[in-house]
Chain A
Amino acid sequence: RKEVEQDPGPFNVPEGATVAFNCTYSNSASQSFFWYRQDCRKEPKLLMSVYSSGNEDGRFTAQLNRASQYISLLIRDSKLSDSATYLCVVNIKGKSTFGDGTTLTVKP
C-alpha cells in the first residue's frame, strides 16, 4: 500500500463545474499537508497548505481529517486554466511524500 493515495482520475469536467479530489495517507505521525499543482512537463508548484480547521483560497478549499487520515481539495467554478495534475503531499520531519496525482481537464 502506498503511503499517500489519491483518486486515480482523470477528471474531465466542463467549465464552471465543481470538482473534488481526495487523498488518504497511512502514517498517523504525519505533520503537515499540502496540495501542489503540476502542469505538463513542468515542476510542481505549491497550491495551498492544508489545516485541520479547513482553509480556503478563492475558488479552492482544502480540508484535513486527521482521525480518518484524509485530505480533500475542492475547486469551485472550474476554469480552463485549472487543467493540471494535482498532487497531495504529506510531510514527516521534513521529508515529503507525494501521491501520484490526479489529472484534471476542464473543457469549454
Chain B
Amino acid sequence: ETGVTQSPTHLIKTRGQQVTLRCSSQSGHNTVSWYQQALGQGPQFIFQYYREEENGRGNFPPRFSGLQFPNYSSELNVNALELDDSALYLCATRPGTEAREQYFGPGTRLTVT
C-alpha cells in the first residue's frame, strides 16, 4: 500500500451540486497532484499543489479548485457539477516537485446524475 488515502470511495451527486473530495498524503510528501480519469481514458492532470500553493494546472475550468493544508493533506472541490464530471478522481503525492515517482491513492468514484 502507498499510504495515500482518499475519501469518500464512492459518491453520487446531482447536476449543479458541489462536491469536496479529500486526500491524505503519504508521510513527508509535500506535493500532491489531482487527476480525473473518465472511463476508458488515462488520468488527466487537474492541478498540483506544493507546500499549500497551486504550482501547475491542466485544462480544467475554474469550477475545479483545490486546497492543500499544512499537514499536506488536500481537497479537490468541484462546483456546478456536470454530467461529464462523472469519473474516477485520483490524487498522487510525492516528496517534492522534482521527485520522479508519485504514489496514487485508491481514488474516489464520482457519479453525477
Contacts and interface: CB of A to CB of B under 8 A. Distances in A.
Interface residue tally on B, bucketed by range: 20 to 34
B40 to A, nearest CB: 7
Interface string A11-50: 0000000000000000000001010000001111110010
Contacts, number: 50
A44 B100 contact: no
Interface string B29-66: 00101010000111111001000000110100000000
Interface of A: 4, 32, 34, 41-46, 49, 87, 91, 93-101
B84 interface: no
B20 to A, nearest CB: 20
Contacts of B88: 41
A96 B43 CA distance: 9
B66 to A, nearest CB: 15
Contacts of A96: 33, 43, 45, 92, 102
7 contacts: A46-B101, A94-B48, A94-B55, A98-B42, A98-B43, A98-B45, A100-B40
B104 interface: yes
